A and B are shown apart, each in its own frame.
Chain A
């Protein structure tokens, strides 16, 4: 039996008896590590926010970013709808919802870039001070995660178009969805801590 072959179902009997899937479990553990990674960046931002104070935060455009937040929240709705569609065997709807997700993700990134450019115009940059450094690093890494998610979504879309993904083989979509929702959750926290709570 080739060691390179796909794992056999019976290899995971212990976990299946508990109602677990190894790919899902692995993804949740990866998410746990990402929680802590963003945690370090968030802790740094908050450390300076509450000890130094961030007067530059007055320049932040809460309304614009609030709309952007709605965009990302909508994308969570579209991606879970995509999962529901493929589970029901509705391949066309799956493609459509996934496409929407990609568009919303790109729109969010566009909104971020616009906001960043606006701040730079006002003299707030990555190197302009402690606020600039911690703000751009934190939101920047979040944006990178969104961008990565968009790429992953495109790969998923291609696999869906090819038929590799279907009602019986939809775990990859669920795994992608978990990542996407997590990135959305990080944004909810960031929006609250950076833009709302002053």
Chain B
């Protein structure tokens, strides 16, 4: 059988390639580049905000930097990196040789670099400065780059929709023999729920962006107030996507966490079906709560209460996950690999983010803290403390599978420590600043908020530094790290039953599944070292 994978040319990654493993890596590396770019923009923001006055950037430039920071992080970092994990892992985890539509898959990836370049170009054409939320009428009248911004987001949305069609069809159609839905890895369940959201919510944003673009370029009157245009219509169209978007950004991450805990606690996952169903419940509920972002918009007050209630209800399936994870590691035989450390960090930081989300769902609280730094803190705890921690956990976990090399664990622990300290230092003070009234999206603020901002800037600096050991570790290990065995973590999901990295066709023989993916200690569990998969080296 061919082991061409060992000598795969690096050139494959720069060209059109329909192998989901190549596409997955393309997604991950490309989005990481945008993570760094978005992070640089964040450092600009935090540098300006280290002092109350606008000394580094003028207001307009600050708004552009802030807008593009958010936009890059959401549309060009976290969404595509999670899609990258999905792309790489789903066929392997279900025992398939590739996605259902390999060419559509390649197209989905190749939309991203041009869309990303378009986004960068928009910055230089007079950048979008209306925030990532692009509220009208501000975004209608804004600088020329706003149109390119809208076009870029539309393209990225289309890429996502194609990806979702591929993921869902693949999971439904291509599971290995014996792999029933109730034996799917929880990461796959997370991707199913995520793909349903992408499929149904993204097109609505696309339609809204078309209206904004038409208003700007052609002179239509979707949002011109003097002609009867309604700014709240944009908010409905925008948030109908952008609220589910936050679940799109967290469900795959939670799926990653569900993969990591059973392995490094060496215990079956607690509440498998509940965790799987909670992902679906979060997705369905998540489609109904968008107007909780609009409590201060002037919407009918009577309609606010149902949105508050439904938003709070989402905490239930989310809580089920957290308790299940805790029960999983309870009395487990814990291995504190870097992956496990990031997963543990995820729990504590996502918890803070999630709980403050419930605060925000309460109308009277939201009326007070809407558009303040309380929201900024909340969103960064769930997205950075949450999703990004999970991405790191996943990278440390699957790096051996993808590259055939092991990462250095000592450097990894340093990365984790800096990341954990930096995240908490950067974002905890923002809660207080927000409660005390510091608005978001401002370059200048009242001097009474200075100390909180300075702590936050210090935390951001530590975060910036924390990426360096990670980058060093990744690059050096990929080049000459110790070779990885097929299953270095002794896990049981199907991707570990083939070599590291997998051969072109994924499996020499499609596996036949006889049990669940987390059956440690159960009679149905396969041997820790599968006989068929060769160890590398």
Residue ranges of A at the interface with B (Cβ–Cβ < 8 Å): 1, 3-4, 7, 11-16, 18, 20, 22, 25-26, 29-30, 32-41, 43-44, 47-48, 51-52, 126-127, 129-130, 132-134, 137
Question: Looking at the complex, which of B70-78, B138-146, B201-209, B350-358 is the stretch in contact with chain A?
Answer: B201-209
Contacts of B110 in A (CB 8 A): none
Beyond A37-B207, A51-B230, is A133–B221 a contact (Cβ under 8 Å)?
yes
- Would you call B221 and A130 a contact (CB within 8 A)? yes
Residue ranges of B at the interface with A (Cβ–Cβ < 8 Å): 18-19, 96-98, 100-102, 161, 164-166, 168-169, 172-177, 179, 199-208, 210-211, 214-215, 218-222, 227-230, 233, 236-237, 240, 504-505
- Would you call A126 and B204 a contact (CB within 8 A)? no
Rounded to whole angstroms, the CA-CA distance of A126 and B173 in the bound complex is: 44
The 7 closest A-B CB pairs, nearest first, are A40-B207, A15-B173, A133-B220, A37-B203, A36-B203, A14-B175, A40-B204
- Would you call B200 and A32 a contact (CB within 8 A)? yes
**7 contacts across the A-B interface (CB closer than 8 A):** A14-B172, A25-B168, A25-B172, A37-B204, A44-B207, A48-B228, A127-B221
Beyond A34-B203, A40-B206, A47-B233, is A3–B179 a contact (Cβ under 8 Å)?
no
Contacts of A44 in B (CB 8 A): 207-208, 211, 222, 233, 237
Q: Which residue of B lies closest to A29 (CB)?
A: B165
- Would you call A22 and B173 a contact (CB within 8 A)? yes
- Would you call B200 and A33 a contact (CB within 8 A)? yes
Rounded to whole angstroms, the CA-CA distance of A36 and B205 in the bound complex is: 9
Q: Which residue of A lies closest to B161 (CB)?
A: A33
Give the distance to chain B from A26, nearest Cβ to Cβ, in Å: 5
- Would you call A129 and B221 a contact (CB within 8 A)? yes
Interface SS of A by simple majority: helix
Contacts of B203 in A (CB 8 A): 33-37, 39-40
- Would you call A3 and B18 a contact (CB within 8 A)? yes
Rounded to whole angstroms, the CA-CA distance of A10 and B270 in the bound complex is: 34
Rounded to whole angstroms, the CA-CA distance of A20 and B222 in the bound complex is: 41
Give the distance to chain B from A62, nearest Cβ to Cβ, in Å: 24
Q: Which residue of B lies closest to A40 (CB)?
A: B207
Contacts of B230 in A (CB 8 A): 47-48, 51
- Would you call A130 and B228 a contact (CB within 8 A)? yes
Contacts of A130 in B (CB 8 A): 221-222, 227-229
Rounded to whole angstroms, the CA-CA distance of A167 and B174 in the bound complex is: 26
Rounded to whole angstroms, the CA-CA distance of A18 and B171 in the bound complex is: 13
- Would you call A37 and B199 a contact (CB within 8 A)? no
Q: Which residue of B lies closest to A37 (CB)?
A: B203
Give the distance to chain B from A131, nearest Cβ to Cβ, in Å: 9
- Would you call A26 and B221 a contact (CB within 8 A)? no
Contacts of B100 in A (CB 8 A): 7, 12, 22, 26
Give the distance to chain B from A25, nearest Cβ to Cβ, in Å: 5
User: Of A11, A32, A51, A134, which one neighbours B199 at CB under 8 angstroms?
Assistant: A32
- Would you call B174 and A14 a contact (CB within 8 A)? yes
Contacts of B222 in A (CB 8 A): 44, 130, 133-134, 137
